[in-house]
Amino acid sequence: GAGVSQSPSNKVTEKGKDVELRCDPISGHTALYWYRQSLGQGLEFLIYFQGNSAPDKSGLPSDRFSAERTGGSVSTLTIQRTQQEDSAVYLCASSPRAALTQFFGPGTRLTVL
Amino acid sequence: KNEVEQSPQNLTAQEGEFITINCSYSVGISALHWLQQHPGGGIVSLFMLSSGKKKHGRLIATINIQEKHSSLHITASHPRDSAVYICAVSGGGGADGLTFGKGTHLIIQP
């Protein structure tokens, strides 16, 4: 399809392991966003990319979280040394450029045991 | 940081009723978004607005910039409208990522 895709759809990991979550935005969309949705905190902004650069990383909760985007397309969110409080649904969204309607992917449900 | 408040948190209504969900925010913004999330489903953008009013089918969204307030209305509500409706803002403090309200859980009973 032509929507935002994310993989994996579900990820179960053990505390202390590293995980990588992938986002494929809609083709041609230059703006890409990562959010997470957890029961306790609701929806939270993590990081925003314009092209390959990340002008706003203000939402990353700790230095265990990092993200990159290559070729102005696919983005990877990496969580190092996962903790149980990292359990959440991680959502990716894209838009044709900044400040336009965002299109959300289905999310990756991360469970840290 | 922008604070986004929604009310009510939960709303149960009968099919056909007129529904209003309210959203207020604390800091000036570039745009306000209304999003819909069905149980177990993804998030869909319903509206993005920075002034005035927008209408799509039975849904109407309004915003008052001076009062920092927006409303989402659903006319002739239907059980398929049952979902969580989320208000979010962008541009407050110069950031483009969305700041979200806690959502309104709407149930429309047949």
B50-71 pLDDT, tens digit per residue, is 999 999 999 999 999 999 999 9
Cα separation, B65 vs B45, in Å, equals 20
Residues B45, A101: C-beta atoms closer than 8 Å: yes
Q: Which residues of B touch A38 (CB under 8 A)?
A: none
pLDDT at position A100 is 86
**CA torsion angle A92 A96 A100 A101 (round to 10):** -50
Q: Is B107 on the interface with A (CB under 8 A)?
A: no
Q: Is B93 a residue whose pLDDT tops 70?
A: no
Mean pLDDT of A74-79: 97
R_g over Cα of chain B: 13
> CA-to-CA distance for B48 and B31, rounded, in angstroms?
7
Instruction: Match 């009723």 to its residue by tokens.
Output: B17
| CA–CA distance, B82 with B38 (Å, rounded to integer) | 7
The answer to whether B97 faces chain A, any CB pair under 8 Å, is yes
Q: What is the largest CA-CA distance in chain B?
A: 44
Please name the residues in contact with A16: beta carbons below 8 A apart, sequence gap of 6 or more: A81, A82
Contact: A91, B43; criterion CB under 8 Å: yes
Those of residues 72-91 in B touching chain A at CB distance below 8 A are 86, 88, 90-91
Inter-chain touch A43–B98, beta carbons under 8 Å = yes
Alpha-carbon distance values, A108 to A34, A43, A85, B7 (Å): 11, 14, 15, 28
pLDDT at B95 over 80: no
Does A56 sit within 8 Å of B100, measured CB to CB?
no
Mean of pLDDT values over B68-92: 94
Residue B73 confidence (pLDDT):
98
